[in-house]
Amino acid sequence: MKIAIIGANGFIGTRLVEHFHLGGLNEVAPIVRRPVSLALPARFAIDWRIGDALDANSLAQALAGCDAIVHAAIGDPRQIEAMPAILAEAAARAGIKRVVYLSTASVHGQSPEPGTNESSPLHTGHALEYNDAKIRAERSFHTACQRHGLAGFALRPGVVFGPRSRWITDLATDLRSGRAWLLDEGRGICNSIYVDNLVAAVEAALTADAKHAGAYLVGDEETVTWREFYGGVATALGIDPATIPPLKNIPDFTPGTAVRLQSLAATPAVQSVLPLVPGIAKRTVKNLLVAAQRPPAVDAWTLPAAPGPRVTQELVLLQQCRVKLPHTKAAQALNYRAPVTFATGLARSLAWLAFAEGRA
């Protein structure tokens, strides 16, 4: 089987290329948008291609000769929503019948309700635009697969960590700089999945009976708290986990005028009329938006304050989670099993971090 990996230069795409190529059981064709993105895929003597995930003609040409597709490309909300329909059309043109699309568990929100599973109804009223975009994208994916007669598998991983992951590098930076924090002593559930466990889920979807096409939650076997996740990284860095401060005050995440205008500009209705707007008007609006978000000037006579916690709305919502999302459906229909324990995955991630920083 020859497997096309769209978005082969990203964290997950890179690991997929490594796994399939070094495993030797399948051929792999990494697909990236620009030659500059071939730095990692082109390490190997493999059949890499250039193709645009937002252009059906370009993508169909890049998919020629492949038997299946794994879509791991990312983008802004508008691009996220546009990609699935283009993907299905390109696959149909290339004569490919099986597509694995990497969605996200965030379609259920970062802090889902108890009892949440794949049959739980989805809604597009989330606090984060990313969640709503992924929901619309997944709906578009299934509709387009049905239209073109494709076996479409949408995988919904949670917090994907591993070597090269932002969940490792950013956390290490925050811990060292004193900007890490825990909400409610880290009791929240981290719906983690080590990257090689996600790769195992992709393999399972590639070989499953086409009648099982659909959406699947996938994750690690263990129930992991944010205290355990942060504590493991902190200990490896020589930091006492007990010194990670609690988050005392949750900021107001109500979007400002500039953010609301940017969200409005990203809607399909506005995007459809933008080509009719004169260039000078668009540049003027863009400059005004940039000016509105520019931080106030720093007083050169005042000593800089100590860095405060790096608080994002996504992380606040994630740390409020009290639900371990199930992957029972994936286990039953796809025969998915997480081959790597959480402890081993974290140890491998931290060993990579030590190597990348020249400490090993």
Instruction: Return the pLDDT at 39.
Output: 87
Q: Which residues pair with 151 in a beta bridge?
A: 98
Higher pLDDT, 259 or 196: 196
Q: Is 298 a residue whose pLDDT tops 70?
A: no
pLDDT (tens digit per residue) in 305-326: 677 899 999 999 999 999 999 9
Higher pLDDT, 351 or 308: 351
Instruction: Return the pLDDT at 260.
Output: 57
Please measure the distance between the N-terminal and C-terminal CA atoms of the chain and give it in whole angstroms.
37
For the beta carbon of residue 335, count every other beta carbon within 10 angstroms: 11
Distance CA 278, CA 286 (A): 13
pLDDT (tens digit per residue) in 39-68: 888 889 899 999 999 999 999 999 999 999
For the beta carbon of residue 270, count every other beta carbon within 10 angstroms: 14
Provide the whole-model pTM: 0.88
Question: Among residues of the chain, what percentage have pLDDT more than 90?
Answer: 79
Q: For the chain, give every domain's residue range.
A: 2-165+191-220+324-339, 250-291
Q: Which residues pair with 180 in a beta bridge?
A: none
Instruction: Return the pLDDT at 284.
Output: 80
- CA-based R_g, the chain, Å: 21
CATH classification code of 2-165+191-220+324-339: 3.40.50.720
Instruction: Return the pLDDT at 214.
Output: 98
Distance CA 253, CA 230 (A): 24
Structure tokens at 136: 């619309």
pLDDT (tens digit per residue) in 145-170: 999 999 999 999 999 999 999 999 99
162 Cβ partners below 8 Å, 6+ apart? 11, 15, 168, 194, 195, 196, 345, 348, 349, 352
pLDDT (tens digit per residue) in 169-189: 999 999 999 999 999 999 999
Instruction: Return the pLDDT at 181.
Output: 97
pLDDT (tens digit per residue) in 235-278: 999 999 999 999 988 988 886 555 555 566 656 666 666 677 78
Instruction: Return the pLDDT at 72.
Output: 97
pLDDT band of 328, cuts 50, 70, 90: very high
Query: What's 2's DSSP letter?
Result: E
Distance CA 104, CA 159 (A): 9
Mean pLDDT of the chain: 92
Where is average pLDDT lowest: 20-29, 207-216, 272-281?
272-281
| Closest listed residue to residue 31, CA positions, set 46, 23, 22, 19 | 46
Instruction: Return the pLDDT at 88.
Output: 98
